[in-house]
């Protein structure tokens, strides 16, 4: 039983050290700089605001029009 507890606590210690090391690495390499840039990079400047433009292939154009008319809500 002591061995099981030792393995559990040892795993938590290794996990904690790895987590802290990963955070330090991310800060040192600048992974947290310009976080908002990544959120905006998926949008195109010509994309209309508030209208759904991405659809699955072979989707009926009427479905897209209904979704845009309802503000992008599910059209069920």
Is 12 a residue whose pLDDT tops 70? yes
Average pLDDT over residues 8-36: 94
pLDDT for 17 = 98
Using the structure block, give the residue that is written with the tokens 């040192």: 28
Task: Work out the pLDDT band at 75, boundaries 50, 70, 90.
Answer: very low
Residue 64 to residue 61: CA distance in whole angstroms: 5
Q: For 2, what's the count of Cα atoms within 13 Å in the CB-facing half-sphere?
A: 0
CA dist list (Å): 27 to 17, 22, 24, 41, 76:
16, 9, 5, 22, 45
Average pLDDT over residues 19-28: 97
The pTM (predicted TM-score) of the whole model is 0.48
Question: Would you tell me how many other CB atoms lie within 10 Å of the CB of residue 64?
Answer: 16
Average pLDDT for the chain: 81
């Amino acid at each position: 039983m002591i061995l099981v507890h030792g393995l559990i606590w040892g795993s938590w210690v290794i996990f904690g050290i790895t987590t802290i090391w990963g955070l330090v690495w991310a800060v040192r390499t600048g992974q947290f700089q310009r976080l908002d840039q990544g959120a905006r990079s998926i949008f195109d400047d010509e994309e209309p605001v508030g209208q759904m433009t991405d659809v699955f292939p072979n989707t009926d154009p009427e479905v897209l029009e209904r979704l845009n008319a309802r503000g992008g809500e599910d059209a069920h």
